[in-house]
Structures are given as C-alpha cells and as structure tokens.
Amino acid sequence: MTELRIAHFSDTHVLAWKGVGAARFLNKRFTGAVNLALNRAKNYRVEIFEKLLAAVTALAPDHVVCTGDLVNLALEPEFARVRELLAERFAPGALTLVPGNHDYYARDSVKLGLFERFFGDWQPRDVAEGTGTYPVVRLIDGAALIGLSTAIPTPVFMATGAVGAEQMAALVRVMARPELANRFRVLMLHHPLLPDATRPLDRMRRLVDAEKLIEALWRCGREGPDLILHGHNHAFVRQELPGTRVPIVQVASGSRYGREHRAEFNVYVVRDRKLAAIERHRFDPDADKFVASDETGAPLKVVRPKAVAEAAS
C-alpha cells in the first residue's frame, strides 16, 4: 500500500514595514495598518509561524503546500522576511505555494510582481498551460499539485477573490493532460469555493466566480481533483465539492496566537489515491509546541520517520 503525506499551512500574515516610506500607505494599506494596530498584530505572530515551520520539517512530509496570505500588507520587507524563513527549510522542490488576497493587498505590489518575484522558486510549471504563471503544476511521486491564483487587488474593506475565465480554461486543460494520469490530484487555491453561512460579511470575502469554477471542475469529470485545499477564513472546515464526494479542506491560520483560535497546519495522508486521514497539528500555548490531533480534535500520536527521529536524538 502506497502512502503519501502532504503538509498544508496558510494565512501566516507576516508583518514587516521597517524602512518603508509613508507614501506606500496612501492607499488601502492605511486601513490595514490601523487594523494591525488595533487587532491583527497581536494575534498573528511570526514566532508562531517559525515554530510551525520547525514542526512541519520535523515531520518530514513528502511535500508541503501553502495556500496564501503569507504576508500582511504586501510590502517588500514582508516578502523578504518570509522568503528567508522558507528558504532556510525548503528546497525549490519541497514546497508549492499560491497567493492570497493579502499577498496582492495593494496595486503597487501586483504591478511589481512581488509575490512571484520573491516566491517563484516554489511555483513550478511542470505541466504548462496558458501564458501566465497560473495554474502552477507540481508533479511528485503519485500526485499532481495544481495551484490557482484567486488573488486580486480589491477596494478598502473588501477581500474577495477571482479565478477568471483564462485560468479556468487552462485548469481544465491541465486536468486532461496525460502527465496527470493515475496521480492523486490536489487543487490549491486561497479563497473558499463554498459560502460560509456563519460569516455575516461573507459576500465581502467570497470567491466571486466560485460557481463558474465548480462548473469547470464538474466538466473535468473523472479527471478532476481528488482533494481541494484552501485557507482564507482561519478555521478548520471540511466540506465536499457539490454533487461529488471530493473533499474540500480549509486550514486554519498558521500564525494565530490564542487559546480559542490557535495556529494550525494539516497533514493529509493519502493511500492508494484516496484521502485516508487528516492530521490537525494545533499550537498548544502551554506546551509551546504544535500537538497532533485527528480530524475531530482528539489527541493523536504521530510517529516521525526513522531517519528524522534518529537525527533528532
């Protein structure tokens, strides 16, 4: 029986603005900075993200994916800090990532291509379709990772996303490529496919063309994804692609500090091209480390690979 372990984190919201001039805040970043001062900066901490990265690498998964919002205000010092943290731990072939709305927070960051410039090493096109960067495609033993960009610059107080017709058409073509045959197919994006009824302002944060993307995935038929991963709403949620049994999993924030809403990352256990289990690794502030649980939150003992355990002893 073949087993594959894929780690997934998202929404780390790293903040760094040293050396950034005031003129860079004469846009949507001004309201973002106010929000940071009042709330976000104390709840999302880079030191928790560093502990997450250490916990992920200690588990030695077969691959690691990130579904965006690595930074907070899309400033160069933020991208540089996150790149430094990632490069210390992940070779280009070990990590695949896509952007979130905070990575495209202001139009200047999009125009300069900051996300792709700093993180391009982890955005492969092992199977190329279309003329742009997306979808990114990574082929690993037994699996194909397909990453869409839902990140778009938005007005103040909006955090919506969109895929767009060109990227959707490229996705359908990628799914039909022979290189993906007999592989477990993981689709990555930042925004949720399905609405969240528990969020009163969900329309301000939604994927605006989600229905069209769902229809595109239906058209793929058996060549469609086996697992869909996203972030954005900072909570663990498991759903299914409408009309199918394909799991959709939303991972919580990877840097959240607190007792009620804790930082998390997931590990997906794939056996014989099927999702066999989801491990949730949640930060325990009392133990000052990430602790494994099953999908329901019940404690779970995770055995590290022998080589990793011996190296740590």
Provide the domain limits for residue 52. 3-19+27-312
Domain count, the chain: 1
Residue type, 116: E
Q: What pLDDT, on a 0 to 100 scale, did the predictor assign at position 311?
A: 44
Q: What pLDDT, on a 0 to 100 scale, did the predictor assign at position 159?
A: 87
* Residues whose CB is less than 8 angstroms from the CB of residue 282 and which lie 6 or more positions away in sequence, other chains included: 252, 262, 263, 264, 290, 291, 293, 297
CB 135 within 8 A of CB 148: yes
d(CA 179, CA 176): 9
Higher pLDDT, 16 or 313: 16
Give exposure, 18-34, as e/b (b: 16+ Cβ within 10 Å): eeeeeebbebbbeebbe
Direct distance between the N- and C-terminal alpha carbons of the chain, in angstroms, rounded to an integer:
29
CB 168 within 8 A of CB 210: no
Residue type, 65: V
CB 6 within 8 A of CB 281: no
Q: What pLDDT, on a 0 to 100 scale, did the predictor assign at position 27?
A: 54
CATH number at residue 283: 3.60.21.10
For 280, the token pair is 């949730």
Dihedral sign from CA coordinates of 196, 97, 21, 37? positive
Q: What pLDDT, on a 0 to 100 scale, did the predictor assign at position 151?
A: 97
The residues with which 257 forms a beta bridge, in sequence order, are none
For 194, the token pair is 């399905």
In terms of Cβ atoms closer than 10 Å to its own Cβ (0-12, 13-18, 19+), residue 286 is exposed
Say if residue 18's pLDDT is above 90.
no
β-bridge pairing 136-140 and 143-147:
antiparallel
- The arithmetic mean of pLDDT across residues 88-107, rounded, is 95
Higher pLDDT, 27 or 118: 118
pLDDT per residue as tens digits for the range 264-284 = 999 999 999 999 999 999 999
The kind and range of the H/E element at 22 are none
d(CA 132, CA 155): 24
For 168, the token pair is 């959707």
d(CA 10, CA 17): 21
pLDDT per residue as tens digits for the range 124-156 = 999 999 888 999 999 999 999 999 999 998 887
Say if residue 206's pLDDT is above 80.
yes
Say if residue 177's pLDDT is above 50.
yes
Q: What pLDDT, on a 0 to 100 scale, did the predictor assign at position 171?
A: 97
CB 97 within 8 A of CB 138: no
Q: What is the mean pLDDT of the chain?
A: 89
Does the N-terminal peptide bond of residue 135 adopt cis geometry, omega within 30 degrees of 0?
yes
Question: What pTM was computed for the model?
Answer: 0.91
CB 74 within 8 A of CB 105: yes
